[in-house]
C-alpha cells in the first residue's frame, strides 16, 4: 500500500506540475490572442482609413475627369496666348509713347484756339484776290507815274 501511496503521490505531484504548466500555457495563449485582437483592431482601423482615403481619391479623380473638357478648350487657346505674348514688345513701345500722347493732349486747348480762328482765316483767304489786284495796281503805278491809274475803278 505504501507503494500505491507513493505512486499516487508521484502522480499527484506530476499532475500539479502539469496543471501549472497548462495554466501557464493557457495564460500565454490568452495574452497572445489579446495581442492578436489588438493588432487586428489596429489593422481594421488602418483599412477603414485607407478605404476613406480611397473614396475621397475616387471623388477627386472623378472631379479631375470633369475638368478634361475645359482644360482641352484652354489648350486650344495656345495660339491665341502665343499671339498675345508676341504683343509684349509692341505694347511696351506704345507705353513709351505716353509722354508724347500726354503732350498732344495738352495741345487740345491750343488746337481749339486755332479752330476758333477759322472764320478769320476764311475771311483773310477771301481777301487774296483783291490783295493781288491791289499789288498789281501798285506795281503798275510805280512803273509809270504819269499814266493814269487804272486801279481805282
Within a domain: 135: yes
Grouping H, G, I as helix, E, B as strand and the rest as coil, residue 4 is helix
pLDDT one-digit tens code per residue, 36-84: 889 999 999 999 888 888 888 888 888 888 888 998 998 899 999 999 9
pLDDT one-digit tens code per residue, 119-152: 999 998 999 999 888 888 888 876 665 555 556 5
CA angle 24, 25, 30 (to 5 degrees): 100
Question: Do residues 53 and 113 both lie within one domain?
Answer: no
Within a domain: 9: yes
Question: Do residues 16 and 62 both lie within one domain?
Answer: yes
Question: Do residues 64 and 121 both lie within one domain?
Answer: no
Q: How far apart are CA 61 and CA 56, in angstroms?
A: 9
Within a domain: 84: no
What local confidence, expressed as pLDDT, does residue 76 receive? 92
Within a domain: 153: no
Within a domain: 17: yes
Task: Please name the residue ranges forming H helices in the chain.
Answer: 2-66, 68-76, 78-86, 88-96, 98-106, 108-116, 118-126, 128-143
* Host domain of residue 124: 107-140
Question: Do residues 59 and 121 both lie within one domain?
Answer: no
What local confidence, expressed as pLDDT, does residue 93 receive? 92
Question: Do residues 120 and 63 both lie within one domain?
Answer: no
Name the CA radius of gyration of the chain, rounded.
58
Q: Which of 25, 55, 72 is the last residue of a domain?
A: 72
What local confidence, expressed as pLDDT, does residue 65 receive? 86
Q: Which of 52, 72, 92 is the last residue of a domain?
A: 72
Amino acid at each position: 500500500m505504501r507503494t500505491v501511496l507513493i505512486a499516487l503521490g508521484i502522480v499527484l505531484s506530476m499532475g500539479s506540475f502539469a496543471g501549472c504548466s497548462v495554466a501557464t500555457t493557457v495564460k500565454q495563449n490568452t495574452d497572445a490572442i489579446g495581442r492578436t485582437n489588438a493588432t487586428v483592431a489596429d489593422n481594421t482601423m488602418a483599412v477603414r482609413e485607407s478605404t476613406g482615403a480611397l473614396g475621397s481619391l475616387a471623388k477627386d479623380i472623378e472631379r479631375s475627369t470633369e475638368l478634361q473638357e475645359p482644360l482641352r478648350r484652354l489648350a486650344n487657346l495656345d495660339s491665341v496666348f502665343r499671339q498675345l505674348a508676341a504683343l509684349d514688345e509692341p505694347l511696351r513701345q506704345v507705353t513709351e509713347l505716353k509722354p508724347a500722347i500726354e503732350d498732344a493732349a495738352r495741345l487740345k486747348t491750343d488746337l481749339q484756339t486755332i479752330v476758333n480762328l477759322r472764320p478769320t482765316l476764311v475771311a483773310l483767304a477771301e481777301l487774296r484776290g483783291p490783295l493781288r489786284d491791289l499789288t498789281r495796281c501798285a506795281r503798275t503805278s510805280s512803273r509809270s507815274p504819269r499814266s493814269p491809274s487804272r486801279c481805282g475803278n
